Structures are given as structure tokens and as C-alpha cells.
Chains A and B, each alone.
Chain A
Amino acid sequence: MHLSSSYILSLTTFVYLGATAIYLLYWIFRLEKVGILGTIVTIAGFIMQTAGIGMRWYESYQLGYGHAPLSNLYESLVFFSWVTILVYLVVEFKTRNRVIGAFATPFACLAMAYASFSPNVQDSIQPLIPALQSNWLIAHVITCFLGYASFAVACGFGIMYLIRGDSRKSSSYLLEALPSRKTLDELMHQTIIFGFLWLTVGIITGAVWANQAWGTYWSWDPKETWSLITWFVYATALHARFVRGWAGKKIAYLSIIGFVSVIFTYFGVNFLLSGLHSYGSS
């Protein structure tokens, strides 16, 4: 059965793909109108996706389950994509730089493509098993994914930083359009702090929840441990600024390594390791 919400959500994949293409065109041809179109398409995709998530929520009530659409891998991917776009739009609004879109929208597009078209991901609405029947579910998922999405955007900044090259050397036409290394470094730092804050709150809400469900706030389950590993990577990135010679490039690498760790925490643990968060393996 094809649910209408998952149909709408699968369509957003193509809207975000379109947005990525338009932002790339904007980067190459630097026509203000193309850039504005990119923003419009992204916002349209975002509205569509929001509607899709809302519909899915409604559909779960119609099926008699009645829970927020944040309970399995499919729903978490959709939410990840949604928050990534949200974080990106805030960054675009604050920096007024649309080239960043070419580095941020692909993450949202890939997440939606994987959610909608991979045979590994089931898009059916499932009822909540007893362990998931908690108000902490929403708080835990939202905070974790705010963190993950910020780290995705920070990873985009890291990539931009590395391909930007040294601004003092003569740079090419394409690289000129990117924000300066100083700006990128600052943006990267701010997004990492923001992501780190939410990752921390996500880990804490998870601990509170685990304590309520099983009586242990920390049990070294692979997911927990990997979230801690990710936490250490970003702690390194935040402290590296205070070591001479570590700022800039090394932090850019760390923002990419950190995001790889996020991806592993998110997928790798579910598919390769076992543990409490086994929703992804189904």
C-alpha cells in the first residue's frame, strides 16, 4: 500500500534535488535571480515536507496508533532531512550567502532519497512497542536530530573551507563566490557549538529516558557509546581552536570526521552492531 504521505515525501526528494541543481547553477553563473529561485524551491520543498510529516502524523491516528512520526528509521531520515533544511535556511537568512545551499541541500536530498527508495527502509507506519511509548521519544529524537543536522551543515562548511583554499593566493572564479576562510571558520565554529549543544541535550534526554525505562541512564550500548565518540570528536574540534596551529584546516577536517561519526552513530550502529536502538535493522 502506498500511503499518500510517503508519496508526497518521496516527491520532496526531487524538489531538493532541483534546489541543489539551482544552487549549483547560481554558484557557477552567479545570477541573483537564480539564487532567489533556489531559495524559493528550497522553501517550497520544506513546506511540502512539513505537510507530508503532518499528514503522516494524522494517518497514524487514523490507523489507531496515534504517535508522532519520529519512531523508525524512515521517519527519522525524513526528520533529519527536514531539520537540515531548517538549519540551512536559518544560516542562509543570517549570512545572506546562497552558495552554501549547494553544500547543504544535497544532504537533505540524499537522506530523502535513501528513505524513499532504499529497499532497506520501510515506510509503513508502525505502532509503538512499549519501550517507545514515552513522552521522551519526541524530546530525544528532536534534540538528537537538531544536532545531527547542524553537524551536516558544519560538514558542508568544512568541505567549503577545504576547497576554498588560501584566499591570499589567486583564486578561481568559482572559489571567489564562497565566503572567506575567516567567515567559514566562524560559521563552522558556531554551527558546531550549536550542534554540540543539541547532541548533548539529545544524549541527556536519552539517558533520562533509559533510566525511566530500564533503570540505567548509561549502559554502554553501542548507540550510546557511538554518540559519546561523536561527542569527543566535536569536543576536540571545539578545543582545537585554543591550540596554536590547529585552527582552520584541522577543524575543517574534524567537522568532516565528526559527521562521518554521526553517520555511523545513526546508521552503522543499527546495521552493523546490535543494541537497544535496533529499529533500523528491520
Chain B
Amino acid sequence: MKTKNDHSQPNILVRFFSSVKLAIFLFIMLALTSIIGTVLPQGESLQFYLENYGPFYFKIIKTLHLYDTYHAWWYLTLMGLFSINLIVCTIKRLPYTLRLFKRNYLDLSKDDLLRRPFKAKWEITNRNNLDQLKEKVINQFLQLVGKVKTKEDVDGGKLYLSEKGNWSYWGVYLIHLSILVIFAGAIFGSFTGFKGRVMLLEGESTDHAIQMDTHGNVKKIPLGFTLRCNNFKVDFYPNGAPKLFESDLTIIENGKEVLNRSIVVNSPLTYKGVTFYQSSYQSVPDLKIRIVSSDGEQKILDLSAFDKGLWPEKRLLIGIIKYLPNVHGAPAARVYVGDATGNQGDAVWLLQSHDREIQVGKDTFRLSLISAKEKFMTGLQVKKDPGVWLVWLGCAMMILGFGIVFWVGHKRIWLWIGQDNNRLEIILAGQTNKNKVSFEKEFEKIKEAINKQVGE
């Protein structure tokens, strides 16, 4: 005799993890907790939460990782439990589904057939050509249903079975499995891929992407090749809404141009698993400035934003602080001028055709803005995700699974036919687990066809 304990003890975990109740609990918990991250701003600095929510809530937010809810330990735990629940449930239900799948629907008696949801019965007596009629009915049935399985000697007659869609029980498994495949793809991708940014001026190139983590640390990720932006184009609708952002890119590998393509939003460029997405742009000033020193020497400098101009002989350094494309019809720029050591210097506003003098140390310099034009800087999202195909595979499986669950039913149609001297008995029976309306039509069609044969 088994005691109650040793029977249930090993199963208690399995039973817990395989219960639909756990699944429902997890659905509700995930639904409720997911709300947090849509209401509370995510990914801000800890300072932000302290200032906006006070010390008490700040403590909760920090402890529960609510500033990044969907990657918090407890949220991932819920997801993990959800996965375990799915796996255990699937394994536990497998034998049951297998039985359902393998069940032989020829093992039925005449009475069983008459208990099916759809049925019809004919009895023909006192007719001459019963053999011929029997033959006709069977042929008609086979013609309408196609492939059948048969069994002799069922209550003195022969049983024909047309069975379709018994594999549809696996649709649910496909859906459940697909969720795990998507999770696997997401996890695989997050460990093997990267996400970063590239900002390129027209004409500029780079061999790495920039990644910034939540603490503001910058990391350079090598691309394995060089990317150059040849040109950037932006276009607007008459109402001012943006119409087009387009970057003309060239991939350079081992000093050779290997690929040249224009990308726009929604049409990225992929090379060696790395994809570049058009995501933003900036317009950047490109200035030509003339500097005349007090001894009459002069130099013309080409200055672009974020760039320093140097006049080594005079130990002079110059940079753009601010640029305004249109001040009373002319471009203006605030520039810093100082000595190369950075000890002395001053900032001035330069307006086109308005010279300015500036004192650096004991020298005086006369600055004039010769010309200013705008250059574009394209902002690209860079991404490598080797797990994405697994995610798409999972999505395809899920859609297929739903299609099966919704549209494919397990349809069974039986024909039993028995002859006893001058008496012919026919039973037609049908059963389906889905879409009863269209099945009924199919069933009625066969019934009518047999009626016709019998009625002659």
C-alpha cells in the first residue's frame, strides 16, 4: 500500500507548476505589474525619482527596481515562472493529447454511432438490387469524403471512417512552444548582439558605434568595417511636417568600397549582421573665418561644430559655441578664441560682414565671418541581433498555432452499412470539435446524396 505522502510528495512541485490556476495567477500578476512601467517614467536617473516622489517612494522604487520595471528581478522571475509553467504544463498534458491524437474511432458500435451529435439512419427492405444499391451508396460516400479507414464485422456490417484534422490538437502546443522560442530568441539576442548609435557628418566615416548605458558611461563597439555618410537629405511637406530623411551610406572594408546605398526610415541597411537605421539628424554649421593678427598676418580657418581650429604660429585656438542660421537675415556664430594653453581667452558673437576685434593676451585679433553654411549630421541606430530570427520563427509558429486552433477542427464522419438478406441498413454519423455550422453543411450534403441513392 502506498501512503498518501509518498504518492503526492514528489508530485507537489509538478502539480503546482502544471496548474492552470498558476497560469491564470501569472497572467493577472503580469498584467497588473506591467501597468507600473507605463505610469512611472522609466530609465531616469535615481536623482529624478528622489526629487519627484520623495524619500519614502524613492526607497520603494529603488528596492523594487521600478525605474526599469521590465528588467527588475521580480518581473523577470514572473516571466521565468511563466516559462516553467508553460513547459511543465505542456509535458504533463502530452500523454493526454497523444491519447486523443491516437484514439481509434473505428472502435465504435452501432449504438455508439447513433449517439454522435450528427446522425442519419436508413432502412431499406424488399428491394431487388440491394447489392447494387449498397455498392452505389458506398461509392457515393467515398467520392464525397475521400480517403477512409475501414473495419469489417462491426455489429454485422462494415464501418467506414473519414477522419480529418486529428493533428489539430497540436495547435495549442505550437502556441505554447512559440512563446518559449520567442523568449529564447530575445535572451540569445541580448547576450550576443549589441545596440548603439552613430552620428556622422556628411563626408565623415567611422569604424565603431557608440553605446551609452544607463549610468551615462560611453562604450565604443567596433563594427568590423568602416561606414561613411556621403550625403544626408531632409525634405518637408508644405504644412511643415517631415517627409523624408535619407542618408547615402558607403561601406568600406579593407580600404575598398564594398557597398553603397541610401537608407530612409523603415528601410535600413544591413551588412555582415549589423543593421543601420535612419533615426535622427542634426544640422551642423560649417564656418569660414578670417583672422588677422595685430602684426598684419592673416589666416583663414574652416570650422565645423564640435571641431577646434588652430593657428599654430600664433598659438591660437578657436571653436564654435553657438550658431544661429538667421539673425536679421544673416548667419551669426558665437566663437571662443583663446591661446592654445587654454589659460586666456574670450567669446564673441560674429555676424557676417561685421568684423570683431578680440584681445588674447597682449595680441589683438580681428575676426570676420566670411561664410557659413549648414552641414547635416545623420543619426543612425546601429543594431546587431543574432536572435531576431528565432523571435520571428516564434511569431510565425504562434500565428500558425492560432490559425490551427481557430480554423482546423477534428472532423469525423462514419458510414456503417450492413446487409441482412433482403434488408439493408445504413447509418451516417458525424462529429467535430470546431466550426459546427460548416460541418453541418458538409454532413447534410452527404446525407442528401445518400437520400438520392436510396430514394430511387
Contacts and interface: CB of A to CB of B under 8 A. Distances in A.
Nearest to B26: A232
Interface stretch (A19-27, A31-39, A130-138, A157-165): A130-138
Interface in A254-282: 261, 269, 273
B31 A233 contact: yes
A130 B28 contact: no
B245 A225 contact: no
B266 A236 contact: no
B383 A229 contact: no
A68 interface: no
A128 to B, nearest CB: 8
A193 B243 CA distance: 39
B167 to A, nearest CB: 19
Contacts of B385: 215
Contacts of B42: 220
Nearest to B398: A200
A145 interface: no
Interface stretch (B102-110, B296-304, B308-316, B400-408): B400-408
A207 B381 contact: no
B6 to A, nearest CB: 27
Contacts of A130: 242-245, 264-266, 278
A126 B391 contact: no
B383 A216 contact: yes
A269 B403 contact: no
A196 interface: yes
B34 A225 contact: yes
B241 interface: yes
A229 B242 contact: no
Contacts of B4: none
A171 interface: no
Give the interface SS of chain B, mostly helix, strand, loop or mixed.
helix
A61 to B, nearest CB: 15
A127 B395 contact: no
Contacts of A196: 402
B259 interface: no
B166 interface: no
Nearest to A241: B20
A121 interface: no
A136 B51 CA distance: 41
Given A213-B266, A217-B391, A239-B20, A222 B38 contact: yes
Interface string A186-198: 0000000110110
A197 B39 contact: no
B241 A127 contact: yes
A43 B306 CA distance: 64
B398 A220 contact: no
Tell me what chain A mostly uses at the interface: helix, strand, loop, or mixed: helix
Interface in B38-79: 38-39, 42, 70
Given A129-B241, A239-B24, A212 B266 contact: yes
Nearest to B237: A127
B277 to A, nearest CB: 5
A54 to B, nearest CB: 24
Contacts of A269: 38
B265 A215 contact: no
Contacts of A94: 437
A213 B28 contact: no
Max count, chain A CB within 10 A of own CB: residue among B21, B24, B42, B279: B24
B238 to A, nearest CB: 9
Given A130-B243, A208-B392, A225-B34, A197 B403 contact: yes
Interface string A77-116: 0000000000000000010000000000000000000000
B189 to A, nearest CB: 9
B23 interface: yes
Given A214-B381, A222-B38, A200 B406 contact: no
18 contacts: A127-B243, A129-B243, A130-B266, A133-B265, A134-B266, A193-B405, A194-B406, A196-B402, A197-B402, A215-B268, A216-B195, A218-B186, A229-B35, A232-B30, A236-B24, A239-B23, A239-B27, A261-B31
The 9 nearest A-B residue pairs measured at CB: A215-B383, A130-B265, A232-B31, A222-B38, A197-B402, A134-B266, A236-B27, A204-B395, A232-B27
